[in-house]
Amino acid sequence: MSTKHKIRNKILIVLISLFCIVLILCFLYNLIGLIIQPSNIFVVEEGKIYQEETTYGYIIRNEKVLYGENYKNGLVEIASEGTKVSKGENVFRYYSNNEENLKKQIANLDIEIQEALEGQKEGYSADIQLLDKQIEDYLGKLLMTNNIVDIEEYRTNISDVLIKKAKIAGELSPSGSHISSLIEQRRTYEEQLNGGQEYISTDTSGIVSYKIDGLEDELKPENFDNLTKKILESYNLKTGQMIPTSSEAGKIVDNFECYIVVFLDSDEAKNAKEGDKINLRLSDSTIIDAEIKKVSQDESGDTMIIFRTNKSVEDLISYRKISVDVIWWSYEGLKVPNTALFQEGDLYYVIRNRAGYNDKIFVKVIKQNKNYSIIENYGIKELIEKGISEEEANSMKNIFLYDEISISIEE
């Protein structure tokens, strides 16, 4: 490589290096500028603002606990958690005394009966062939389900069909007396098993739950007038803790509505009225509609508000005390920070930056919370009524989505 080429390459490297240094310095300058003097431009956006406060609420339901005499034996679910039942349906049953042993003896007898039937196919009647087909069908269904209630039903059906088959086969075979003896033993065990089982049914419709906390008879709508913050706090309930599942009792819960009791000291709470419609945000961010059922002054000095809702009722069954956001109001529209609003007399205005020019634009503040406002443009007639000259009103520009406006940076 010639000397001239070497010099040219060195110059090129130096120039590239200088260019990179300039870029880095520009970047650092802008970064330091942003830190020292934050950007004073905001882009108008479509948004929603809320007036809300976070608290905890106690859940009160119409619910009825179901239990029987054999509660110490433990229960077997007939209707599972969250199932809707009608009046008169069996919800669960209690285990009978010595149930497991009786079930094992019955199962062993079923095996003996089945073995006694082996090799008896000659001379089988069409009735027995039909029963075999029924057993096959039930076995197929048994293998296709994970539902505990269905599994128990199919097993019972198979057992019943097997006994029918055994009775018919016993009459047709020399070993009939042995099969009949096995069937009789089985019948005796089954009577003992069924005789000791206690079935619990419901006299009202609703959702089945086995989550029992012992407060079902105390925290109910009929006792609203006796509720106080002191009483509710005396239960020492933990916010968000799930109610434990009972092995001794179940309950039927009204699936149409429930109530949430809160205690607040805000101005919004003090001005709340019965019948007002508001929104509640649950801990999973679900927003539900609610109506104020009752407002009263608590002895603690707080305002007690009871909300009624028919939303997410089934999701709340597992809880007695929850975290909740009370959303007193919400508005949607052109959303700007309060620091972008300036005042001239009784009028608010924003300063729009477009193509290097600033325009003062009067705006209506529709709703405002601590940090943001929802704004709208004035009409010409409205501005004139507000005392703006006709000439200025006619020349007034409007604010639009994605416009850039100035904000006041507090020192």
Is the pLDDT higher at 122 or at 282? 282
Answer yes or no: are the C-beta atoms of 253 and 83 closer than 8 Å.
no
Residue found under tokens 């950007």:
39
Q: Among 252, 242, 237, which Cα is nearest to 283's? A: 242
Which spans in 212-351 are helix H? Answer: 229-233, 267-270
When pLDDT is averaged across residues 334-357 and rounded to a whole number, the result is 93
Which residue type does 76 have?
V
Strands 258-264 and 45-60: antiparallel
Pick the CATH number of 53-64+214-242+254-331 from 1.10.287.3510, 3.40.1710.10, 2.40.30.170, 2.60.120.10: 2.40.30.170
Per DSSP, which regions of 265-341 are E strands? 277-281, 287-297, 303-309, 321-337
The predicted-structure confidence for 350-371, as pLDDT tens digits, reads as follows 999 988 889 999 999 999 999 9
**Integer Cα distance of 13 and 19 in angstroms:** 10
Nearest to 106 by CA among 158, 151, 175: 158
What is residue 143's DSSP assignment? H
Phi, psi angles (nearest 5°) of residue 293: -85, -40
104 band by pLDDT with thresholds 50, 70 and 90: confident
> How far, in Å, CA of 368 to CA of 116, rounded?
85
- Taking the C-alpha atoms of residue 295 and residue 273, their distance in angstroms, rounded to an integer, is 7
Q: Indicate the SS3 state at residue 353.
A: strand
Runs of H (alpha helix) within 212-282:
229-233, 267-270
Element (H, E) at 159: helix 148-172
Q: What's the confidence (pLDDT) of residue 34?
A: 41
Separation CA 48–CA 330 (nearest Å): 7
Say how far apart CA 215 and CA 227 lie, in whole Å.
13
Give the per-residue pLDDT at 36: 41
Nearby residues of 410 by Cβ (< 8 Å), 6 or more positions away? 339
Residue 299's CB is within 10 A of a number of other CB atoms, namely: 9
Distances (CA, A) of 348 to 26, 340, 383, 396: 38, 10, 11, 14
Query: Nearest to residue 242, comparing CAs of 316, 180, 308, 181?
Result: 316
Give the pLDDT confidence of 167-197 residue by residue, as tens digits: 666 555 555 566 667 666 777 666 666 656 7
d(CA 100, CA 96) in angstroms, rounded, equals 9
- The pLDDT value recorded for residue 334 is 97
* 154 confidence band (pLDDT: 50, 70, 90): low
Among 337, 345, 273, smallest CA distance to 44 is for 337
Q: Are 268 and 51 in contact (CB under 8 A)?
A: yes
Common-topology check for domains 42-47+333-406 and 53-64+214-242+254-331: no
Indicate the fold that domain 42-47+333-406 takes in CATH. Answer: 2.40.420
The per-residue pLDDT for range 220-257, each reduced to its tens digit, is 999 999 999 999 999 999 999 999 999 999 999 999 99
Q: How far apart are CA 49 and CA 368, in angstroms?
A: 8
pLDDT, the chain, mean = 84
Can you tell me which residue has the tokens 């619910």? 63
Tokens of 61: 């339901």
- pLDDT exceeds 70 at position 29: no
Please give the structure tokens belonging to residue 322: 């929850």
User: CB of 404 within 8 A of CB of 336?
Assistant: no
Query: Which among 370, 367, 351 has a CA at the least distance from the CA of 359?
Result: 351
Dihedral angle at the C-alpha atoms of 161, 163, 168, 173, nearest 10 degrees? Answer: 130
Report domain extents, the chain.
Answer: 1-37, 42-47+333-406, 53-64+214-242+254-331, 96-196
**What confidence score (pLDDT) does residue 133 get?**
72
pLDDT category at 84 given cuts 50, 70, 90 is very high
What single string gives the DSSP state of each residue in 162-219? HHHHHHHHHHHSTTHHHHHHHHHHHHHHHHHHHHT-EEEE-SS-EEEE-B--S-TTTS
